[in-house]
Amino acid sequence: MRLVAAGDNYTVAVTHNNKMYSWGQGNDGQLGHGTTDDIMVPKIVMHFTQETGKFLSISCGKNHTAAIV
């Protein structure tokens, strides 16, 4: 993993090949999968599967995730 951030009961990570994964509690949609489901294993965030530029930073809060590309 190249970048890792943790929020309230969830985690987001970016790999060396620039793919974002998230897992944990998703009750407010903070995982970025378009649902409020809990995801207990790392799952790729499909919104970022196309080339979006290199992730420079990621950050998590209680109910949100932010990325700088």
Q: 28-56 in b/e burial notation, b at 16+ Cβ within 10 A?
A: eebbbbeeeeebeebbebeebeeeeeebe
Distances in Å between the alpha carbon of 34 and those of 2, 16, 26, 39, 56? 24, 24, 10, 12, 23
Q: What is the pLDDT of residue 2?
A: 93
Enclosing H/E stretch for 66: strand 65-68
Average per-residue pLDDT in the chain? 91
- Digit-coded pLDDT (tens) for 28-61: 999 999 999 999 999 999 887 666 678 999 999 9
pTM for this model (two decimals): 0.91
Element (H, E) at 4: strand 3-6
Number of domains in the chain: 1
User: Could you list the residue range(s) of the whole structural domain that residue 21 is in?
Assistant: 3-68
